[in-house]
Every structure is written in structure tokens, then in C-alpha cells.
Amino acid sequence: METTLRGVGVSHGVAIGEVRHMGTAVLEPPARQIAAEEAEREQGRARQAVDAVAADLMARGNLAGGEAQAVLEAQAMMAQDPELMADVERRIAVGSTAERGVYDAFAAYRELLAGAGEYLAGRVADLDDVRNRIVARLLGVPMPGVPDSDEPYVLVARDLAPADTALLDPALVLGFVTEEGGPTSHSAILARALGVPAVVALPGAGDLAEGTLIAVDGSTGDIFVNPSEEKKAQLEAAAAERKAALAASTGPGATADGHKVPLLANVGGPSDVPAAVEAGAEGVGLFRTEFLFLDDSKNAPSEEKQTQAYRQVLEAFPESRVVVRVLDAGADKPLDFLTPADEPNPALGVRGLRTLLDHPDILRTQLTALAKAAEGLPVYLEVMAPMVADRADAKAFADACREAGLRAKFGAMVEIPSAALRARSILQEVEFLSLGTNDLAQYTFAADRQVGAVSRLQDPWQPALLDLVALSAEAAKAEGKSCGVCGEAASDPLLACVLTGLGVTSLSMGAASIPYVRAALAKYTRAQCERAAAAARTADSAADARSAAQAVLSGE
């Protein structure tokens, strides 16, 4: 019998296949006391297992590249955290086996993270994955991971660790469904990069029986269990129609009446550039530079290393706009040489621009490297600061750019509600705004972007979030400056039309989403987008906002 479930669609497309569940390691090893003379040997086993898992995560990152590489390298750093390792060794010294010492030390750290709120609680899934991998290696059991199968399938899991998501084979994994996660979780972002249909935050996903036939609509979030032949045909026809529309849509982003909306790419490093170029990106709207700094959490990369990496990206987009975000360290991206170890709530502490202003040498080196990387290139370089709260922040960043001799436009990210509310003030100091809707939603609704239980508040269709976007766009228009969106909201084709109607001047997203957004914009006039935006803002919920916009654009 056909039934329908509803989760949160986070990656476009339709997948129809049988359910295969994610395998897990033995989570709790037996409690066995060891003799005192065995402690040193067990400590050595623990260190070897930790180093092997960290090396495996780094290798997976190198294979995956781009955003996935940064995420996996952060996990490797988590595995080798010196305080965590010291706790493991203390537990072994008083009689625990290596595997039990690892399990108990990680459990204690897990409890701390789970109660920390905001970003850190969202790292629990990553921590569990690291623990499982270390314990599995020590016990000699298979690593947790995707199931072995010769036939394509739909992967179902409570949550997907970045190490698994990053190396999914789209030829075998038709799509995936998770019980946890949200629209801006690591798994969602990586799914979009892979172009794999995905639905997250589906209650009871784990209850789907192995081998059950399901159809996954990554655009709507609908899961059809035991779909009828009619439903399968309907979904396949819709997917074919969408594919044809994508193929027919080429060139710069624009509405049906010719209003230009540049479609830019979000990139995490040089390895993301080929996909962006292939998708027809008109430039880069968000170049995340963290990937360089995650290579070594104890030391900042040299000016030469930074210059080389930045130039590789800049060279790929001649005569195009490339917007670089300077280092956004802190919260879920701690760096030993920058991040305070004792912050009670890092997401609300010293993060982003605040960190850089506390370490002006790091900021100066990065800005100097960017200036050198752009020398002699026909590229329109723009540099922006993360986590700008007010005009004083914007001025401090602009002053630092000028002192470094940077010939570029200086901008500010709008990720804190205060920046949206006072956008016109901030624009007295900088030349453009870029809305990071992931963090803007998180801080507006006090809803951790990694926690499935609050995913409805992370929905970028929330009317309050649309109001903040409108405030920012109106301020930029009044000042004769630009206001783009570089958060995941821009990757939703329908929402992209609404953002255009709100006055946003450019949209930046993962390369895989660009064709979908280009095709959607080309179907509607600017006036239709404006009417859809107005309708969405009158709603009282995210679902009603989406429905209202859809009704306007479909002529209902």
C-alpha cells in the first residue's frame, strides 16, 4: 500500500529504489579490566588507532576535495585532539582497555558538546562517527559506512557522517534519507555538491524496512513508500521534464523579461572550480578560505601558500566577479592558534571577524596574499568579512583592507540580525552586502543548523528571515550598492525567484544548483517575482510562504 512521508528536501531530483540502511560499528565495547603492566601497550594501541583513523579521514578528504575536504580534515583534527587523547590515556592507566578508554572518553566529551547548544551540539554526529571508527579499528570489526551492494539503492540512516557522504558513489546511491539533520547540515550541503537527491529530518526514517521500495523527491521532501506504478511514472515524467528544462536553459541568469540576476558559485577551494565553470557560473559569490587553514590547526598557512591557492581560483574566472570571504574561524571551525579553548558558547563568542581583529597579523597576511594573487589578472576581486555586527566592525575591516594595499571592493556578510536591521549604516563603510542565510536563520531563530528537531526554524522560507533579506536589499538599493545571497537559500529555484523579487542583486550557490535556478528564473518576469515575494512575506509560516509564492507564480 502506498503511503507518503514528509521530511525536508535538501537536494533536487527524484530517486526510486530499494532501502539500504547505513551500517554501524559496535558502539560499546566490553568493560574489561587490564593489568597495570598492560597499560602502556594499550595506550600505544589507542594512539595507533587514532592516528590511522585521522589519516583515513584526511585521505578521504583529499579524494573528495572542495567543501568535503574541509569537513573531513576538521574531523581528523577532532580525532587527534590532545585533551581527548590525554583523557583516553588516563582511563587506560587506571585499568581500561584501549577500546573502552576511547569509548568512555568520547562519551564524556559528547555530553559536553550535546549540552553546549548552537554549533557545538551539531558536532555530535561527527564526534560519534570518529569514535565508531576508532573503536571499530581496535575491535577489528568493519568500519561504519555505506552498505555493500551491486545494485543501486536509496541509503537510509539516522544521520550521515561527512566521511560517508563525501565519497558516495552516485552510480550506486540513487539518493539518501536521514532522520536527523537540517537544510544546512553538512550532509545536505555535500549532497547538493554531489547532485544526489536527498531528504533529511524525516521522523521514523529508521523504521523503513530494508528492501522497501521508496521514491524520494529531493525538491519537495516527499517520500513515497511502495509507490504505485502511476506514482512512479508521474515522478519520472516530472524528472524528465525538469532535465529537459535544464538542458534548454543556458547563458547568464535573468528573468523572462531580461532583468539580470548573476548566478555565481560557492567554492571551498581550487578543486571546486571545474564544476562551477561547467555549470556556467558567472563568477564566484562565496570563496570560503577556511580549507587552507584547516590543513594545520596549530599554524597559519604562509603568505606564499595562500597566494598560490587564491590565484588558482581567480585565474579560472577572467573578467568575472570573485567574492572572497576572509577566514571564518571559531565555533565549529576551531583553530588552535586562534580560537580560545574556554569559551562557554563559541557560536556567540569570538568568531569570524572578531577573531581576525584580535589577530590582525593573520588578517593582514591573508589580505596581502589576496592582493598579490590578483596582480595582473583581469578579475573583479571583492573581499568580505564574516559575522559583521555593526558599522564599527565594517569600518575596522575596510581600514584593514586599505592598510594591506588591497585593490578590491570591500563588503560585509549579513549573518547577524543586527547587520540586517542596520544595513544602511554598515553600507557607509563597505561597498556591498552578502547574505549568509544559513547563519542568519540560526541566529534569528536561536535554532542550531545541525539539529533536526529545530529544522523548521532553519527553513529559509520563514517569513521573518525574508523580512531581514528585504531590509538588507532595500538598504543596498537606497545606497546604490549591491546585495547578494550566498547562503543555501539561493539554491532553491522557487526561493531564488522570491529573493529576486525582494531586490537581491545576485545569487550564489553550489555548482549543481545553478542550472535549476537559471531555468526557474527564465520562466518568470521580475514583476511576477516581486508579487511572489510580497505574497510570501504576508504568510505566518515557512510552508504557507512557499505555498503563497508558488500560487502567484503558477497563476492560481
> What is the edge-to-edge ordering of all strands in the sheet holding 173-178?
3-6, 222-225, 213-217, 14-21, 153-157, 173-178, 198-200, 8-11
The number of C-alpha atoms within 13 Å of 537 and in the hemisphere containing its C-beta is 17
> At 388, which amino acid appears?
V
Task: Read off the DSSP letter of residue 216.
Answer: E
User: Cα(11)–Cα(232) distance, rounded to whole angstroms?
Assistant: 19
529 is catalytic: no
Q: Among 142, 141, 136, 169, which residue's Cα sits nearest to residue 155?
A: 169
Q: Please choose, from the candidates 164, 209, 179, the residue with its C-alpha nearest in 3D space to the C-alpha of residue 20.
A: 209
Q: Which residues are CB-contacts of 160 (< 8 A; sequence separation ≥ 6)?
A: 22, 176, 178, 181, 187
Taking alpha carbons only, the member of 328, 23, 7 closest to residue 182 is 7
Residue labelled with grid coordinates 539539529? 451
Q: Which residue among 12, 186, 497, 529 is the active-site one?
A: 186
Burial class (CB in 10 A: 0-12, 13-18, 19+), 8: buried
The question of whether 186 is a catalytic residue gets the answer yes
- Contact between residue 458 and residue 449 where contact means Cβ atoms under 8 Å apart: yes
Contact 368, 405 (CB under 8 A): yes
Q: What is the DSSP string of 60-123?
A: HHHHH-HHHHHHHHHHHHHHT-HHHHHHHHHHHHTT--HHHHHHHHHHHHHHHHHTT-HHHHTT
CA dist list (Å): 400 to 28, 415, 429, 554: 51, 20, 12, 48
User: Beta-carbon neighbour count of residue 206 at 10 Å?
Assistant: 14
Q: Report the 10 Å Cβ neighbour count for 80.
A: 17
Say how far apart CA 70 and CA 84 lie, in whole Å: 21
Side-chain-facing half-sphere of 214: CA atoms under 13 Å = 33
Coil, helix or strand at residue 328: coil
Measured between alpha carbons, how far is residue 526 from residues 258, 392, 532 in Å? 8, 35, 10
Handedness of CA 392, 441, 157, 151 (dihedral sign): negative
Decide if 16 contacts 237 (C-beta within 8 A). no
Residue type for 25, please? A
Enzyme catalytic residues: 186, 486
